Amino acid sequence: MANASKEMATILPILTHIQTNLSEDLSLDTLAERANLSSYHFHRKFRTTIGETVKQYTQRLRLEKAAYQLKTREAPIIDIAFDAGFQSHETFSRAFRRQFKMTPKKYRQREHIGQWIGTSQTESLNHIQEEYQLSKPSFQKIQPMTVAFIRHLGPYVEADIDAFERLIQWTQHNELYTGNNLLIGIGHDDPNITPIDKVRFDACIEVDHPIAPEGDIGYQTIPSGYFAVTTYIGPYGRILEQAYGEIVKNIFANQGKRYRLIGIPAIEIYRTTKINPTYSLNHTDIYLPVEKIEA
């Protein structure tokens, strides 16, 4: 167990680097150098810890990012390919077809804009609407936030809420807890695209300076950017997951000519010092990335 924890501490900084730099050089040699390991040893550690090779992992994340943007952006397919880290339209198209069994053009035509986390569930949104309230979305720019985090892989609704308590105790032990540290959740993937067992959710606590990874507790920076912000009041779990469909619909209805929704990651800032999934009046600000449209 201790050895597995050590392996994860080595790999976590690389995972956070990959997810924020998909358009950059993410070759095995480059990432191994960043981890201060030989390419051979880094390849073994990465595959053992993550279950995929570096190439498989980065390729999958790039394709999933492109697939989501094909659903939500009106940009040319070649621009989406470049943004996801592909060097040519041909390379992107071949890789995309292998992954999704259709061309990027056909995928875009098939998918309807506004599909989002949880919309594949059969539960009726109208049936549960009375159990939560949503504000009208506002459009804001946020500053970078540094966080310690514990990663969950699998369905969002199965994320371990106790991870937040572990993070609080860890920051207290390391004299990083002020009583005002924000508790934050980051949903990195769309379950309609990403295999459900590989969906990433990070339970986070705000810290005021960089930290060294320790076991399964990692460190990352939430970058500055423009977001559509919706306040959600209600319980967590399945109801919050279902509410995302309405949140996205509201953003599309209100985005106008200044901002355009670009999708994920979804950032949830919990306005509390203790997470209670069943509390009916949880106050959560939900941030979804948008791009500012140049005049």
Q: Which helix (H) or strand (E) holds 206?
A: strand 200-206
Q: Please tell me if the domain spanning 2-110 has the same topology as the one spanning 130-292.
A: no
- Per the document, the length of the chain is 295
| Domain ranges across the chain | 2-110, 130-292
> Which residue type occupies 164?
F
- Residue pointed to by tokens 């009583």: 179
| 2-110 CATH, one of 1.10.10.60, 3.10.20.440, 3.60.150.10, 4.10.780.10 | 1.10.10.60
- Range 130-292 has CATH code 3.20.80.10: yes
Q: In this predicted structure, what is the pLDDT of residue 173?
A: 95
Between 292 and 206, the more confident residue is 206
Per-residue pLDDT tens over the stretch 173-192? 999 999 899 999 999 999 99
Per-residue pLDDT tens over the stretch 60-83? 999 999 998 898 777 899 999 999
Average pLDDT of the residues of the chain: 88
- Beta carbons of 81 and 89 less than 8 angstroms apart: yes
Q: In this predicted structure, what is the pLDDT of residue 129?
A: 55
Burial of residue 185 (number of CB atoms within 10 Å: 0-12, 13-18, 19+)? buried
Strands 133-134 and 138-142 turn out to be unpaired
Specify the pTM.
0.86
Per-residue pLDDT tens over the stretch 202-254? 999 999 988 988 999 999 999 999 999 999 999 988 888 889 989 988 988 88
Work out the pLDDT band at 90, boundaries 50, 70, 90.
very high
Burial of residue 91 (number of CB atoms within 10 Å: 0-12, 13-18, 19+)? exposed
Per-residue pLDDT tens over the stretch 8-45? 888 999 999 999 899 999 999 999 999 999 999 999 99
